[in-house]
A = this chain, B = another copy of it.
Amino acid sequence: MSLPHAILTALVEKPSSGLELTRRFDRSIGYFWSATHQQIYRELGKLEADGLIRALPGQQPSRGQKKSYEVLPAGRAELARWTAAAQDPKPLRDTMLLRLRAAAVVGTTGIETDLRRHLELHERQLAEYGEIETRDFPPGSDSAEDRLRHLVLRAGIDLETFWTRWLRHALAELAELPDDGRMPGGNGLPGDGRA
């Protein structure tokens, strides 16, 4: 149940229409909580029905017409409640790690290409975050909002840094391994009682 709160946050920052929200979820918020326009429209409907947001008055409600929403007091309260509520962190779930684990038993053939590609993607993302940081958070900026948003961006930067380092490490490791279609040792036993 995080999408509605992501939308509430975006709308508190600035009242927007569905399409504007969609565009903002392609940058900004979307860097750590992505959403498609279908999700957004669906959720906007629910939020309005629940009385947490409302359409800005003075707008035609027909189909192809722009409709902007703003957050109502109840919505702000719900957002504050949710922000402070205890929530368990989601366990890690990463396909690349799974693939390497699989490569340990079926062989590493072919995976190197995609490791390299991922490295490039993460390097690009890291560069983008770097640009945002220098643009939006110059050394002097220290309002409370700025500090918190900078903190979030820092997480993104550090995560991308981690991935680039780890992927380089993985590629170096692969280079030292025999690149056969199957690891030595038949079906990979022993090796299950371990990590």
Contact = CB atoms under 8 A, between A and B. Distances in A.
Given A108-B148, A177-B144, A178-B144, A83 B103 contact: yes
Contact of A76 (B106, B146, B147): B106
Contact of A147 (B102, B135, B177): B177
Contacts of A122: 89
A17 to B, nearest CB: 14
Nearest to A176: B147
A100 B111 CA distance: 36
Nearest to A163: B89
Contact of A121 (B89, B143, B151): B89
Interface string A154-195: 111011001001100110010011100101110111011011
Interface residues of A, number: 97
B144 A5 contact: no
Contact of A148 (B29, B104, B137, B155): B104
Contacts of A5: 98-99, 102
Interface in A116-156: 117-118, 121-122, 129, 132-133, 135-137, 143-149, 151-156
Contact of A145 (B80, B104, B132): B104
Interface pairs A-B: 5 shortest CB-CB: A84-B110, A104-B148, A136-B194, A80-B106, A32-B97
